[in-house]
Amino acid sequence: MTVVLSKASKMPCKSWSLQAGTTCPGSIDSITKKPVAVCAGCYAKDGFYNMPGAVKVRDFNREDWKRDGWVADMICALKGQKYFRWFDSGDCYHPLLAAKILQVMQATPETKHWLPTKSYKIPRIRIILEQMKTLANVSVRFSSDSMIGEYDADHGSTVVPYAETPTNATMCEAYTRDGKCGDCRACWNKSVAVVAYPAHGSRMMAMVRRMNKKAA
């Protein structure tokens, strides 16, 4: 049985993803029990991601990773892949999934892996994410909940309202290339401490407008 990988138009590589929201335990505010603002505005809840084909693949992946041969099949699928992204949508919602992804990363040192996540808030998952971070070929980026570019020493990425927003983080350059990575590989580069992503997508921009209205 073969695994099903995706290829987002922005990405220079393939990815393995899940449906956003239902697989994102780190997106929920511990007090309100609702998604934090940056996740309420998630780009992966709109457009292409809601099309039947995309939903079908992500729903399939949610069950497929549980089978015994999944790790071996993922390793095989990554042969010859210089770069790979985990979770173009969704997140690492279960410690057993995290453990399997770690095995794949360990067995594919020739592939540079990027894994953005909010599941570092889940202690049983964070333990495994920290193990991933020790691998030379892996960039795990803990995502800040901020929509105004705030982050702390724990974070590897944040969101800013606009590309012109002042920040000490490394600004994602995709907005200068029609939404595409081009030759930039900052997200995979372990020496890049924090990447700032300008808000994008209709849902996210609506959240930015709401935030600005409250601040006015």
Indicate the domain borders of the chain.
14-215
Prediction pTM value: 0.94
What tens-digit pLDDT sequence spans the chain (216 residues)? Answer: 689 999 877 889 999 999 999 999 999 999 999 999 899 888 888 788 888 999 999 999 999 999 999 999 999 999 999 999 999 999 999 999 999 999 999 999 999 999 999 999 999 999 999 999 999 999 999 999 999 999 999 999 999 999 899 999 999 999 888 889 999 999 999 999 999 999 887 788 888 888 877 776
150-155 own/partner pairs: CB under 8 Å, 24+ apart: 151/194, 154/120, 155/194
Q: 80 and 108 in contact (C-beta within 8 Å)?
A: no
Q: 6 - beta bridge partners?
A: 15
pLDDT tens-digit profile of 131-148?
999 999 999 999 999 999
**C-alpha distances out from residue 11 to 15, 116, 167, 204, Å:** 8, 14, 24, 20
Neighbour count for residue 120 (Cβ, 10 Å): 20
* Nearest alpha carbon to residue 98 among 73, 53, 131, 121: 131
What's the confidence (pLDDT) of residue 216? 67
pLDDT of residue 66: 98
* Predicted confidence (pLDDT) per residue in 42-77, tens digit: 888 878 888 899 999 999 999 999 999 999 999 999
